[in-house]
Amino acid sequence: METLGIYVPRLVTKRQGFTPGHRACSGCGEALAVKLVMKALGRNVIVVMSTGCMEVISTQLPYTAWEVPWIHTLFENSAIVASGIEAGMKALNRKGTPLPKAKVVAIGGDGATFDIGLGAISGAFERGHDFLYVCLDNEAYMNTGIQRSSATPFGASTTTQPAGKVSMGQSTWKKNMPAIAIAHDIPYVATACPSYPFDLMNKVKKAAEIEGPTYVHILSVCPTGWRIPTDMTIRLGRLAVETGVFPLYEVENGKYTLNYDPPRLRPVEDYLKPQGRFRHLTPKMVKKIQQRVSVEYASLKEKAASG
C-alpha cells in the first residue's frame, strides 16, 4: 500500500452524503469510517442501516446527517431489507419502470453483523443479491454501554465481563467474521481501517462496482469503549494494523491479497498498552495473545503467498 502524503488528500472530493454536526463522541473512529465510505460511494446509493451507534448519533429527530436515501432497520434485518430493495428495483426495471442506477448499501455495527444479524447476512450472501455490506466493528455494544459482543477480543474488559478478582475480562477469542463472509464464496471481501483512508476508499469503491454481494469489514476505534484518550483514535488504528492484530487484506474471488505487509510486525504490547480495557492483562496473557496473533498472521500470509 502506498503512503500518500499531504498533497493527495487535497484531491479527495469534499462532497459527502454523511454531513458533520452529528452527535458522535469526540474522537469517534466509526463516524470517520462512515464519512470515508460515503465519500467513496458518492450520491447514487440507498443506505440501509441497522440499529447501533451510527444510527443513534446521526438521526435524532428532527435532524439527520444523511443526504442520501436512508432507512433504519432493526438490529437483525439490514441485510434482509437491503435484499428487498435490490429485488424490488430489479422487479420494477423488469416491468418497465425506468429507475436510475443505485447501489444498495447495508451498514451495521459489530453487534448487528457478528451476533444478531448473522443469519440474515448469510442468507443475503447466499441468495447473491447485488449489495454491499459494510461492518463497522468497534468490538462491543458501545451504543448501549460497552456490553460484550462476539467481536470483543480476548482479555478485553467490558461492562458485562469486567476484569476483576473473578474474571479476566472477555474469555473467548474474537469471531473471524471476514472468514465467514469468505466462506460464502462471494466475489469480494476486504478489511479496512479509517487510519488508512485511501485504502478504505479504494476498497469500498471496488466493492461497490462489483456485481453481487460484497463485504467490507472496517475496524473503527472507539475511544469511549476502549478507554483511550480521544486523540489516539488514528494511531491506535494504525497500531492494530502494524501489530498484526487487524491485518488489512482483500479476497477477490478466492484470491487473497495482503495490502499492508510491513517488514516486521510490532509487538502486540504496543497496541494493548494504551488501552484501558486491557489494563489488567498479565504478561502471561499478553504472551498468549501474541502467540495467537502471530499464528493467524502467518496463516494469512501463507494464503496470500499461495494466491
Partner 1 sequence: MITISIDGQELKAKEGQTILEIARENGIYIPTLCYHENLSPYGACRLCCVEIFKGGRSRIVASCLYPVEEGLEVKTNSPHIINNRKMIMELLLARCSQNEVIKKLASEMGVEQSAFKAKYLENEDCILCGLCVRACEQIVERSAISLVNRGVNREVAPPFLEPSADCIGCGSCAYVCPTGAIKMEDKDGTRVVYARNWEKEFKLKKCKKCGNYWAPEEQLEYIREKLNLPPDFFDVCPNCRESVP
What's the closest the beta carbon of residue 198 comes to partner 1, in angstroms?
8
Query: 113: burial class by Cβ within 10 Å (0-12, 13-18, 19+)?
Result: buried
What's the closest the beta carbon of residue 154 comes to partner 1, in angstroms?
21
Give SS3 for 215.
Answer: strand
Which of 45, 181 has the CB closer to partner 1? Answer: 45
Which of 187, 274 has the CB closer to partner 1? Answer: 274
Which of 1, 91 has the CB closer to partner 1? Answer: 1
Contacting residues toward partner 1, per CB under 8 A: 1-8, 10-11, 13-15, 43-44, 198, 235, 238-239, 242, 262-264, 266, 270, 273-274
The Cα 186–Cα 93 span in angstroms is 24
Q: Are 73 and 117 in contact (CB under 8 A)?
A: no
What's the closest the beta carbon of residue 42 comes to partner 1, in angstroms?
10
What's the closest the beta carbon of residue 68 comes to partner 1, in angstroms?
10
Which of 266, 292 has the CB closer to partner 1? Answer: 266
Q: Are 216 and 203 in contact (CB under 8 A)?
A: yes
Give SS3 for 79.
Answer: helix
What's the closest the beta carbon of residue 258 comes to partner 1, in angstroms?
14
Q: Which three cell numbers stand for residue 70?
A: 436512508
Which of 252, 270 has the CB closer to partner 1? Answer: 270
Instruction: Tell me how far apart the terminal alpha carbons of the chain are, to the nearest angstrom.
Output: 18
The Cα 134–Cα 49 span in angstroms is 10
Q: Are 181 and 189 in contact (CB under 8 A)?
A: yes
Query: Bridge partners of 258?
Result: 249
